[in-house]
Amino acid sequence: MSDKSKKCIVLGVTGGIAAYKAADLCSKMVQAGYDVHVIMTASALELITERTFLTLSRNPVTTTLWDVPIWQPEHIALAERADLLVVAPCTANFIGKYTHGIGDDALTTFALAHTEKVLLAPAMNPRMWQNAAVKENIEILKTRDVEFIGPEPGRVACGDDGLGRMAEPVEILEQVKRLF
Protein backbone atom coordinates (compact mmCIF):
# COMPACT_ATOMS: atom_id res chain seq x y z
CA MET A 1 0.00 0.00 0.00
CA SER A 2 1.31 3.45 -0.88
CA ASP A 3 2.37 5.92 1.80
CA LYS A 4 1.25 9.37 0.64
CA SER A 5 3.67 11.13 3.01
CA LYS A 6 6.70 9.70 1.16
CA LYS A 7 8.09 10.97 -2.14
CA CYS A 8 6.74 8.73 -4.90
CA ILE A 9 9.23 7.40 -7.44
CA VAL A 10 8.28 5.42 -10.50
CA LEU A 11 11.11 3.10 -11.52
CA GLY A 12 10.89 2.17 -15.19
CA VAL A 13 12.75 -1.02 -16.02
CA THR A 14 13.51 -1.65 -19.69
CA GLY A 15 14.98 -4.63 -21.50
CA GLY A 16 18.68 -4.01 -21.07
CA ILE A 17 20.80 -6.70 -19.43
CA ALA A 18 21.44 -4.21 -16.60
CA ALA A 19 17.84 -4.85 -15.49
CA TYR A 20 19.30 -6.96 -12.69
CA LYS A 21 20.86 -3.76 -11.27
CA ALA A 22 17.39 -2.17 -11.19
CA ALA A 23 16.45 -4.61 -8.41
CA ASP A 24 19.31 -3.28 -6.28
CA LEU A 25 18.29 0.29 -7.12
CA CYS A 26 14.68 -0.43 -6.14
CA SER A 27 15.82 -1.88 -2.82
CA LYS A 28 18.10 1.08 -2.11
CA MET A 29 15.35 3.62 -2.89
CA VAL A 30 12.87 1.84 -0.58
CA GLN A 31 15.51 1.68 2.18
CA ALA A 32 16.06 5.44 1.69
CA GLY A 33 12.39 6.03 2.47
CA TYR A 34 10.86 6.47 -0.97
CA ASP A 35 7.53 5.01 -2.12
CA VAL A 36 8.66 3.08 -5.22
CA HIS A 37 6.34 1.87 -7.98
CA VAL A 38 7.81 -0.22 -10.78
CA ILE A 39 6.73 -0.30 -14.40
CA MET A 40 8.40 -3.01 -16.50
CA THR A 41 8.51 -3.41 -20.26
CA ALA A 42 7.88 -6.78 -21.92
CA SER A 43 11.60 -6.98 -22.73
CA ALA A 44 12.51 -6.40 -19.08
CA LEU A 45 10.28 -9.33 -18.14
CA GLU A 46 12.50 -11.54 -20.30
CA LEU A 47 15.44 -10.68 -18.04
CA ILE A 48 14.06 -10.32 -14.49
CA THR A 49 10.76 -11.16 -12.86
CA GLU A 50 7.90 -8.97 -11.74
CA ARG A 51 7.89 -10.77 -8.37
CA THR A 52 11.38 -9.43 -7.59
CA PHE A 53 10.13 -5.83 -7.79
CA LEU A 54 6.83 -6.61 -6.06
CA THR A 55 8.79 -7.97 -3.10
CA LEU A 56 11.37 -5.17 -3.02
CA SER A 57 8.97 -2.25 -3.55
CA ARG A 58 6.02 -3.69 -1.61
CA ASN A 59 3.81 -2.22 -4.35
CA PRO A 60 2.05 -3.79 -7.33
CA VAL A 61 4.18 -3.86 -10.48
CA THR A 62 2.74 -2.58 -13.75
CA THR A 63 3.66 -4.62 -16.81
CA THR A 64 0.82 -3.91 -19.19
CA LEU A 65 -1.87 -1.37 -19.90
CA TRP A 66 -4.54 -4.06 -20.10
CA ASP A 67 -4.63 -5.94 -16.76
CA VAL A 68 -6.15 -3.15 -14.67
CA PRO A 69 -8.99 -4.24 -12.33
CA ILE A 70 -10.25 -0.70 -11.66
CA TRP A 71 -11.88 1.91 -13.90
CA GLN A 72 -8.96 4.37 -13.89
CA PRO A 73 -5.90 3.39 -15.93
CA GLU A 74 -3.03 2.79 -13.49
CA HIS A 75 -0.47 4.71 -15.53
CA ILE A 76 -2.60 7.87 -15.35
CA ALA A 77 -3.40 7.47 -11.63
CA LEU A 78 0.30 6.92 -10.93
CA ALA A 79 1.29 9.93 -13.06
CA GLU A 80 -0.90 12.11 -10.87
CA ARG A 81 1.05 11.23 -7.71
CA ALA A 82 4.59 10.47 -8.94
CA ASP A 83 7.28 12.98 -7.97
CA LEU A 84 10.01 11.44 -10.13
CA LEU A 85 10.40 8.96 -12.99
CA VAL A 86 13.68 7.03 -13.01
CA VAL A 87 14.30 4.72 -15.97
CA ALA A 88 17.13 2.29 -15.22
CA PRO A 89 18.30 0.67 -17.33
CA CYS A 90 17.24 3.06 -20.06
CA THR A 91 17.59 1.56 -23.52
CA ALA A 92 18.00 3.34 -26.86
CA ASN A 93 14.51 2.04 -27.67
CA PHE A 94 12.94 3.86 -24.71
CA ILE A 95 14.94 7.03 -25.43
CA GLY A 96 13.70 7.06 -29.03
CA LYS A 97 10.07 6.45 -28.12
CA TYR A 98 10.08 8.98 -25.29
CA THR A 99 11.74 11.64 -27.43
CA HIS A 100 9.17 11.27 -30.20
CA GLY A 101 6.04 10.83 -28.10
CA ILE A 102 5.42 7.15 -28.80
CA GLY A 103 3.38 5.53 -26.04
CA ASP A 104 2.91 1.90 -27.03
CA ASP A 105 3.38 0.16 -23.66
CA ALA A 106 2.78 0.89 -19.98
CA LEU A 107 6.15 2.59 -19.41
CA THR A 108 6.16 4.88 -22.45
CA THR A 109 2.51 5.77 -21.89
CA PHE A 110 3.24 6.60 -18.25
CA ALA A 111 6.27 8.69 -19.28
CA LEU A 112 4.13 10.74 -21.64
CA ALA A 113 1.55 11.39 -18.88
CA HIS A 114 4.21 12.20 -16.24
CA THR A 115 4.80 15.94 -15.75
CA GLU A 116 7.39 15.96 -12.96
CA LYS A 117 11.15 15.30 -12.96
CA VAL A 118 12.71 12.55 -15.08
CA LEU A 119 16.07 10.82 -14.60
CA LEU A 120 17.34 8.41 -17.24
CA ALA A 121 20.22 5.96 -16.66
CA PRO A 122 21.22 4.78 -20.15
CA ALA A 123 22.63 1.31 -20.65
CA MET A 124 23.49 -0.03 -24.10
CA ASN A 125 26.25 -1.21 -26.37
CA PRO A 126 28.85 1.55 -26.89
CA ARG A 127 28.15 1.58 -30.64
CA MET A 128 24.49 2.21 -29.94
CA TRP A 129 25.37 5.02 -27.51
CA GLN A 130 27.46 6.64 -30.28
CA ASN A 131 24.70 6.33 -32.89
CA ALA A 132 23.75 9.72 -34.36
CA ALA A 133 20.01 9.15 -33.77
CA VAL A 134 20.56 8.26 -30.10
CA LYS A 135 22.81 11.30 -29.61
CA GLU A 136 20.22 13.57 -31.24
CA ASN A 137 17.41 12.12 -29.10
CA ILE A 138 19.44 12.72 -25.94
CA GLU A 139 20.09 16.34 -26.91
CA ILE A 140 16.37 16.85 -27.52
CA LEU A 141 15.50 15.36 -24.13
CA LYS A 142 18.07 17.56 -22.39
CA THR A 143 16.32 20.63 -23.83
CA ARG A 144 13.18 19.33 -22.11
CA ASP A 145 14.98 19.25 -18.73
CA VAL A 146 15.33 15.47 -18.66
CA GLU A 147 18.27 14.50 -16.43
CA PHE A 148 20.80 11.81 -17.34
CA ILE A 149 23.23 9.81 -15.26
CA GLY A 150 25.80 7.78 -17.18
CA PRO A 151 26.49 5.74 -19.06
CA GLU A 152 29.82 4.72 -17.61
CA PRO A 153 32.90 3.44 -19.44
CA GLY A 154 33.85 -0.21 -19.19
CA ARG A 155 33.08 -3.63 -20.52
CA VAL A 156 29.44 -4.26 -21.40
CA ALA A 157 27.65 -7.62 -21.35
CA CYS A 158 28.45 -8.48 -24.99
CA GLY A 159 32.17 -8.05 -24.27
CA ASP A 160 32.69 -4.67 -25.97
CA ASP A 161 34.47 -1.86 -24.14
CA GLY A 162 33.42 1.79 -24.11
CA LEU A 163 30.65 4.07 -22.85
CA GLY A 164 27.53 2.03 -22.27
CA ARG A 165 27.43 0.59 -18.77
CA MET A 166 24.56 1.72 -16.56
CA ALA A 167 25.60 3.92 -13.64
CA GLU A 168 25.80 2.00 -10.38
CA PRO A 169 22.62 1.95 -8.24
CA VAL A 170 24.29 3.86 -5.39
CA GLU A 171 25.23 6.67 -7.83
CA ILE A 172 21.69 6.78 -9.20
CA LEU A 173 20.29 6.96 -5.66
CA GLU A 174 22.58 9.91 -4.88
CA GLN A 175 21.32 11.69 -8.00
CA VAL A 176 17.72 10.99 -6.94
CA LYS A 177 18.43 12.59 -3.55
CA ARG A 178 19.96 15.65 -5.26
CA LEU A 179 16.87 16.02 -7.48
CA PHE A 180 14.67 16.21 -4.37
**CATH of residue 63:** 3.40.50.1950
Does residue 2 belong to any structural domain of this protein? no
* Residue 65, pLDDT score: 78
* Residue 166, pLDDT score: 96
Does residue 60 belong to any structural domain of this protein? yes
Answer whether the bond into residue 169 is a cis peptide, omega within 30°.
Answer: no
**Low-confidence stretches of the chain (pLDDT beneath 70):** 1-4, 66-75
Tens of pLDDT, residues 23-61? 999 999 999 999 999 999 999 999 999 999 999 999 999
Does residue 112 belong to any structural domain of this protein? yes
* Residue 75, pLDDT score: 55
Give Cβ neighbours of residue 138 (< 8 Å, ≥ 6 apart): 95, 122, 148
Q: Please give the tally of structural domains in the chain.
A: 1
* Residue 162, pLDDT score: 79
Does residue 1 belong to any structural domain of this protein? no
* Residue 107, pLDDT score: 95
* Residue 176, pLDDT score: 98
From the list 8, 6, 32, 175, the residue with the least C-alpha distance to 90 is 175
- For 77, the domain range is 8-179
Neighbours of 179 (CB within 10 A): 16
* Residue 18, pLDDT score: 95
* Residue 159, pLDDT score: 74
CA within 13 Å, CB half, 47 = 17
Q: What span, in angstroms and rounded, lies between the C-alpha atoms of 110 and 85?
A: 9
Q: What span, in angstroms and rounded, lies between the C-alpha atoms of 52 and 63?
A: 13
Q: What span, in angstroms and rounded, lies between the C-alpha atoms of 135 and 151?
A: 12
* Residue 67, pLDDT score: 63
| 90 annotated active-site | no
What b-and-e string marks burial along 51-83, b requiring 16 or more CB atoms within 10 Å of the CB? Answer: ebbeebbebebbbebeeeeeeebbbeebbeebb
